[in-house]
Homo-oligomer: A and B are copies of this chain.
């Protein structure tokens, strides 16, 4: 049966398209990633391109989806880290930071797709997939927060159920990374070492909630380094990526 080979060929081509598209997106931005250029990049015409993807936004969302898959992978690996709940949520933070630093391009594609106009043009189906990822991602955090509460390390105020804490922590981190995009602006404001600041501020935030053990009682830089060596040894072979003592 030829259809097996055909199936595989289609898959292969889809990957090739995404590869070319991602390259264009990073080099020339959203507007520079044109369907004609993608078609020129692969060895097929635009018509064939449209047999794989319904629209430009569809291509874009596929790229974003693969980026999110990478992030999900990091999160799920980090979630396996053994320790007190607050150490485990710290591991999630490390995962996000590594994702941001190792794959800034992926981070950017997530931001691009997160735009109302673009999102509106994506098929319901893919929108669902994207949403699904977000939910899974927050579910991981929720479980850890709930463990923290269950073990008595954390007492949440009434206004802040576990999903809300996850949302806030996420907002602090993603908001910071997003604002870091404009480097000129950052410099003008006099912000240096922003990545380190985000790392530390997450801990300050958790201290604010009184999540034990507090920073004063525990060395979370050491936890960060442990997460790097135990969970992300390959990714942090370059020492620059590990938190300093």
Contact = CB atoms under 8 A, between A and B. Distances in A.
Nearest to A196: B159
Stoichiometry (number of copies): 2
A47 interface: no
A1 interface: no
Given A29-B120, A116-B29, A172-B171, A163 B190 contact: yes
A161 B204 CA distance: 14
A208 B204 CA distance: 5
Contacts of A131: 184-185, 188
Interface in A172-207: 172-176, 178-179, 181, 184-186, 188-194, 196-198, 200-201, 203-207
Contact of A179 (B135, B167, B176, B206): B167
Given A193-B159, A205-B205, A174 B179 contact: yes
A172 to B, nearest CB: 4
A10 interface: no
A222 interface: no
A134 interface: yes
Nearest to A174: B175
Contacts of A134: 185, 188-189
Contacts of A179: 167, 170-171, 174-175
Contact of A205 (B112, B174, B208): B208
A164 interface: yes
- For A108, A159, A175, A200, the residue with the greatest tally of chain B CB atoms inside 10 Å of its CB is A175
- For A131, A157, A189, the residue with the greatest tally of chain B CB atoms inside 10 Å of its CB is A189
Contacts of A2: none
Q: Which 10 A-B pairs have the closest CB atoms?
A: A175-B175, A208-B208, A204-B208, A171-B175, A171-B176, A163-B190, A207-B208, A172-B172, A168-B201, A29-B117
7 contacts: A131-B185, A134-B185, A135-B188, A163-B191, A167-B191, A205-B205, A205-B208
